Amino acid sequence: MIWGYARVSTQQQQVHLQLDALRTYGCQEVIKEKAAAPYIRATQS
């Protein structure tokens, strides 16, 4: 299984372009992270 990782660091950034590229590459599982002060939130899709 191929895993991918997508991360954005501001509210203005969108993760969808990274997700599209990772899925095109063949990632079946992707971990998404939105890092914003003062905390970091990660989700798996």
Which residues are known to be catalytic?
Answer: 9
Q: Which residues contact 39 (CB under 8 A, 6 or more apart)?
A: none
DSSP codes of every residue in 8-29: E-STT--SHHHHHHHHHHT-SE
